Amino acid sequence: MEIVVRDDAKTVTEPKFDWQHISYLLLLSRAMDTIEERDLVPAKLVFNQFSARGHDLAQILLGSLLTHPHDAATGYYRSRPFVLSLGLDIEEAVASPMAKSGGYSDGRDIGVVCNYPNPERKGAMLFPMCGGVGAQYTPISGWAQSIVYHRDQLQDASYKSAIGLSMGGDSSMSTSGFWSALNISTTHKLPHLFYIEDNGYGISVPQSEQTPGGDQVANLAAYKHLKIIDGDGTDPVTAPKLIAEAVAHVRSGEGPCLLRLKVPRLCGHTFQDTQTYKPEVLIADEQARDPLPRLQGYLEESNILSAQQWQQLEGRAMAEVLVAVEAAKQRPEPNPEDLQRFVYAEANTVQLRGGLAADGYQFPSQTDQPKPQGQRLNMLTAIRKTLDYELQSNPKVLVFGEDVGPKGGVHGATLGLHETHGQQRVFDTSLSEEGIIGRSVGMALAGLMPVPEIQFRKYAEPAAEQLSDTGIMRWRTFNQFAAPMVVRVPGGFAKRGDPWHSMSDEVEWVHKVGWQLAMPSNADDAVGLLRYALRDNNPTIFFEHRNLLDNSWARRPYPGNDYVIPFGKAKTLLQGDKLTLVCWGAMVERCELAAKTLAEQRDQQQLVEVIDLRTLQPWDEKAVLTSVTKTGRCLIVHEDNLSAGFGAEIAAVLADKVFFDLDAPIQRLTMPNIPSPHNFNLLEAALPSASDIADAMNNLLDI
């Protein structure tokens, strides 16, 4: 019998639920929780255990409706019942918390941090979960935007009616990720379903500490373009209606929906949590709202499942979990020899989901040999020309960020691209770096190539969680997922400095696992490195130094539309045999000038070998080691602060590998450990100047 839900005179037909299967999945989830709590945690076979009791029925009902091949979802640590409803294998579900081989991550991630690639697209894909609360929202805004892009821009009718679902607890609504996603998805009326599982607590903190009045959903009542559906997630009669209504609304194309269902958390936050912070009367009330006996009673009263059939399902679920647990125990431990695999893409092993490579995209021909043509261009024009060509040749490239659209960027790198390629492909975003990078994750997982701009280097800090999660995605899912993207980040000093717009701090991106980092010093290199990044299968930070964007020294002829520079390949600007000078970014110009000045001072002797690294992750270790072995001396010059700057890494590698070839100590010349000053004279006093570099080289040569 079909149930009809009426809302504002519109009729929504609820799909027929397979109650026997839903009951089985509910009992399966309970059996897993029980066995983990009773056997596996005490035996120290499971360390992180998060029971889903109380949340489980609504999750399973919702998951059973995500049947579109382009549906996708994000969950969190209490979402295992939902993943089971998508088709997760029982043995995989119990092996992962035991950190056994296989599973979500081959033992690399917490067992409750799930993923479900579903490469055959039989229903929804589950994005790799993140350990941080709130990080699950903006990636689904990106996925929802990608649905619209595939459907309307790429004219792929198979995306019609697909949706994105983000799941979270009530306290996750306090995070910047939630608010950013809400703004993105409501502003653009994206097919995004927000499902809030409201158990009233964030571990031990009640909702009264999260929002005025303790009810964030009520406080959203005036939000435009947002349908709100609110109710009881434990009621087997009303919960299916509310869930079906929410899904139908988003599939209809009318915009996002926030579905808030109140559910009891029948156990502590984790197995170790005794819930002493809850009043006993509240705990008793929560136990009385357990959806499992309510479902059993409803199915018996409705003559859908008898008590005997329920008992048989319960026995079957427990037996199958016990068998799966024993099989999981017999799995081998993850192979330590594979520990460092899949930090980056491997040529012959493509990830299952995410990026252009997973869909077999073929790029135009390319070469590492430049074909200089036309007048010398500044770096800004070279970047714009490269973006323009890649937008023309690859329909899956999207360029976006704050002021990137009609204005053309505050630096001018995207000037005219919005008019040429349209609003769907070059567009402005809301002022939220978390949202800019988060939506990029969803786009990348949808098979697009996002090119987000962070307006200034320091402004990347609000996006730090999304950037970190993106970098380790491939590693933590054992190459099941990856999110290649190119994040353009202007930074460094310009004509003046300041602590906010002139930050360099590139070493942070070297330390971020899974990210590549390019720092071109001139227009020619900017073209080759940017095009390589846009066609690569890894996430890349493309650092556009502000002092070089319109710098006359950095101007070069355009090297051609097929020119690429493979990462990790340094460029030797000057040959020498007495000292190696290693540099990158804005320091390259100063180092080259200093080396030429030194040659004039020393009767044109070619003493100094100047190496521009061009990329810091990966960096051309071989080129530097070869040069220093020849010269016996090394000076490393960079704009970033002295302490823990990337020069320290280079120095450590040299000391480790060519110590006995050195004729003098390895030296670094950098900014002191201060922010970039605004006063011009202070700035020049802080930065290594050409004369400073020449003096340092003279001192080394005289040793």
Give the active site residues: 501
Both tokens assigned to 316: 């079957």
Looking at the chain, how many residues does it have? Answer: 703
Phi and psi based region of residue 395 (left: phi greater than 0; alpha: psi -120 to 50; beta: remaining): alpha
Question: What does the buried/exposed string (b/e) look like for 278-302 if buried means 16 or more CB atoms within 10 Å of the residue's CB?
Answer: beeeeeeebeebbbbebbbebbeee
Quote the CA–CA distance of 431 and 131 in Å, as a whole number: 25
Helix, strand and coil content of the chain, in percent to the nearest 5, comes to 40, 15, 45
CB 172 within 8 A of CB 178: yes
Q: Are 456 and 431 in contact (CB under 8 A)?
A: no
SS3 692: helix
Which helix (H) or strand (E) covers residue 359, if one does? none
What is the SS3 assignment for 553-606? CCCEEECCCCECCCCCCCEEEECCCCEEEEECCCHHHHHHHHHHHHHHHCCCCC
CA nearest neighbour of 489 among 430, 446, 530, 532: 530
Q: Which helix (H) or strand (E) segment is 271 a member of?
A: none
Contact yes or no for 540/493 (Cβ under 8 A): no
- Measured between alpha carbons, how far is 646 from 506 in angstroms, rounded to an integer? 8
Task: Decide if 612 contacts 583 (C-beta within 8 A).
Answer: yes
Strand partners of residue 480: none
User: How far is Cα 701 from Cα 431, in angstroms, rounded to an integer?
Assistant: 51
Give the pairing of strands 634-641 and 608-612: unpaired
Q: List, in order, residues 6 or more apart from 453 with CB less than 8 Å away.
A: 399, 400, 401, 402, 404, 409, 413, 414, 436, 487, 488, 489, 490
User: What single-letter amino acid sits at 690?
Assistant: A
CB count, 10 Å around CB of 317? 21
- Asked whether the beta carbons of 557 and 563 are under 8 A apart, the reply is no
Determine whether 190 is exposed, middle or buried from the number of CB atoms within 10 Å of its CB (0-12, 13-18, 19+).
Answer: buried
Amino acid at 700: L
CA 676/CA 497 separation, integer angstroms: 5
CB 628, CB 654: distance < 8 Å: yes
